[in-house]
Amino acid sequence: MGEENNVTLHGMWASPYVKRVELALKVKGIPFEYIEEDLSNKSPLLLKYNPIHKKVPVLVHNGKSVSESFVILEYIDETWNNEPRLFPKDPYERSRVRFWASYIQQVTECMLKVFKGEEKALEEFYEKLSVLENGIKNSSLEITTNIEGRNMGLLDIMIIITLGAYKAQELVFGVKILDAEKTPLLYSWLTSLIELPIVKEITPPYDKVLSFLHFLKDIVFKAPAN
């Protein structure tokens, strides 16, 4: 096996952080082995490669481990610096992409609060989606919404993993996640990404996602805090 191919991703199929890395590896065309972790019974390898947080994802490249999804994404793009690039080459454009990627992470965290039923979380979530919509509309990042004729980049990966399961989420949690009228750019962007073969390749079966979301709603989020 060649040096570039000596890549292993330790993950859990339902983790959005793992899915970001999995999609990035696919986009970059990097062959890798995927190891599904049971987070209730963590493997010795996971504990070895991520002794600090003991979480997924963990990328192992030639025996060296990298953890935390955003750190892994940067590592992938810098190590395999061929096209397509996940981050722009220009430092200023790269800083803007990092900014909006960080903002999409806030959207992800806010969505989790919505699912947990936290007070005013839905209002905050809609506000963040509106800010993201206007940020796209009022900047050159508007080209991000049109995937045709260009390569997939970091923001595409972030948005598809954050909002790609919105139909199942709406069904299980009984809230409106994405509105084509209120956030038309986000809606069209996401809709075009969902149809890409590379995205379908890493998307879990709909029924499996539904079952997991019901598990979160009915068991995990109702469990008393320790």
Mean pLDDT, the chain cut into blocks of 10 residues (226 residues total): 73 97 97 96 95 96 96 97 92 92 96 95 97 85 68 94 97 96 93 94 97 95 72
DSSP state letters, 120-173: THHHHHHHHHHHHHHHHHTSGGGGGG--TTS---HHHHHHHHHHTTHHHHHHHH
Residue 153 dihedral angles phi and psi, to the nearest 5°: -120, -170
Alpha carbon distance 26, 30 (integer Å) = 6
What one-character DSSP code corresponds to residue 86?
S
| CA 10 from centroid of its chain's CA atoms | 15
Architecture of domain 91-222 in this structure: Up-down Bundle (1.20)
Do the domains 7-79 and 91-222 sit in the same CATH topology, yes or no? no
| Under 8 Å between Cβ of 14 and 212 | yes
Q: Where do the structural domains in the chain lie, given as residue ranges?
A: 7-79, 91-222
Alpha carbon distance 184, 190 (integer Å) = 10
Alpha carbon distance 217, 138 (integer Å) = 36
On the 0-12 / 13-18 / 19+ scale of CB atoms within 10 A, 129 is buried
| pTM, full prediction | 0.93
Q: Which CATH number fits domain 7-79: 3.40.30.10, 3.30.470.20, 3.40.50.12590, 1.20.120.430?
A: 3.40.30.10
